[in-house]
A = this chain, B = another copy of it.
Amino acid sequence: MLTKRQQLILWSIIDDYIVSAEPVGSRTLSKKEDIQFSAATIRNEMADLEEMGFLEQPHTSAGRIPSQKGYRFYVDHLLKPYMWTQQEVILLHELHQQKVDRAEKVFEHASILLSRFTNYMTFVLGPKMSESKLRHFQVIPLLDRTVVSILVTDQGDVHQQRLTMPEGISSDVMGKLVNFINHHLSGMPLQNLKKAIENELKDELILYVERYDRVSHFLDQVLFMNAQEKLFTSGANRMMDLPEFRDVDKVKSLLDLIEESDVLVKLLEPREIGVQVKIGYENHIDEIRDCSIITTSYLFNGEPVGTIGILGPTRMDYGKIIGLVDFFAKDFSKQLMNLYEIE
């Protein structure tokens, strides 16, 4: 569709615009090494490219900037794989050596690291924990009727909750209940716990535990898992260094957007394998119409379970960022596996 020369010009414009954030003119281009033809020729080609929708002109007497379609073409067809500098590789490995003892920390750490590396905003969407299974359940008394319930999953995540014991239930009965649960429900996915009790175990429980009526509500509370993924974000303030965010209102609307994290969670949700690039309005959110989001899922046991994402201006170094996100996701999967001691 595009001639080689047009591709070269489009590529050069984007390449220039990514660092300068200024419209690129024909003269600037003609001075580049790998462009051998005159400014006039370039102007003709640029006019054509604009007509086809790959370029835009802020006003008549300005240079051209890439349009969303232009970026799309760039990402899909022109991208050259980014080469890490030796320095970057070393730094990357060094930084990744740090040990962590909880999955949450891995996410948080990765998010901060990534934003430092890219100078953009990053997200890490924790894995949906509903998949994990019950390993151990326990109720620890505190004072009077206050207790802490602890629920450990097979992945070593600990869910705690502070509760009030139902009236008239002795610690003896509670002990029985806890035993019963550990015995019958161990190894069951958290999300099925409630159903399992209601459908299969209720009758048995009633015989086994006195005053089941009083315990029932307590159980509901304890086993209610909000399996909602946790979202870690980092580096929002770095965005303010970008010329496109010299405007307080823009910054604010972006920060407000982040605060309603559900929007972002939805955006990060679809867990296809491989790196996804959504440019500008492809995200369907007005506030970030001149931002791009690059996401990729990380795997656990070969399954994509969560997402790593970067939000930056449409004018970003796609090659580098894509490489970085990919690297992180892979390294990330490894770290998770390590943490859970699975080969």
Apart from A142-B341, A237-B256, list 8 A-B contacts with CB within 8 A.
A102-B160, A143-B340, A143-B342, A150-B152, A158-B160, A237-B255, A240-B251, A251-B251
With A161-B102, A259-B237 as contacts: A341 and B252 at CB distance below 8 Å: no
Contact, CB under 8 Å: A158 / B163: no
- Does any Cβ of B come within 8 Å of A232's Cβ? no
- Does any Cβ of B come within 8 Å of A64's Cβ? no
- Looking at A162, A240, A259, A342, the one whose CB has the most chain B CB atoms below 10 A away is A162
Contact, CB under 8 Å: B135 / A142: yes
Chain A 144-166 per-residue mask, 1 if CB under 8 angstroms from chain B, else 0: 11101010101110101111000
Contact, CB under 8 Å: A252 / B259: no
Count of A residues near B, CB < 8 Å? Answer: 40
Q: For the complex formed by this chain, how many copies does it contain in all?
A: 2
**Residues of A229-253 contacting chain B, CB below 8 A:** 236-237, 240-241, 245-249, 251-252
**Residues of A105-164 contacting chain B, CB below 8 A:** 135-136, 138, 140, 142-146, 148, 150, 152, 154-156, 158, 160-163
Our pick among B144, B148, B245 for the contact of A341 (Cβ within 8 Å) is B144
Contact, CB under 8 Å: A101 / B251: no
Contact, CB under 8 Å: A236 / B248: no
With A142-B156, A150-B158 as contacts: A101 and B163 at CB distance below 8 Å: yes
Contact, CB under 8 Å: B246 / A146: no
Please, which residue of chain B has its CB at the minimum distance from the CB of A158? B160
List the B side residues contacting A173 at CB < 8 Å.
Answer: none
List the B side residues contacting A144 at CB < 8 Å.
Answer: 341
Q: Is the interface of A mostly helix, strand, loop or mixed?
A: mixed
Contact, CB under 8 Å: A248 / B240: yes
Give bound CA distance, A156 to B246, whole Å.
46
Contact, CB under 8 Å: B140 / A135: yes
- Does any Cβ of B come within 8 Å of A339's Cβ? yes
The 4 residue pairs across chains A and B that have the minimum distance between CB atoms: A237-B255, A158-B160, A240-B252, A101-B162
List the B side residues contacting A142 at CB < 8 Å.
Answer: 135, 154-156, 340-341
List the B side residues contacting A158 at CB < 8 Å.
Answer: 148, 150, 158, 160
> Least Cβ distance of A112 to chain B in Å?
10
Our pick among B135, B138, B245 for the contact of A138 (Cβ within 8 Å) is B138
List the B side residues contacting A102 at CB < 8 Å.
Answer: 160-162
Give bound CA distance, A98 to B251, whole Å.
32
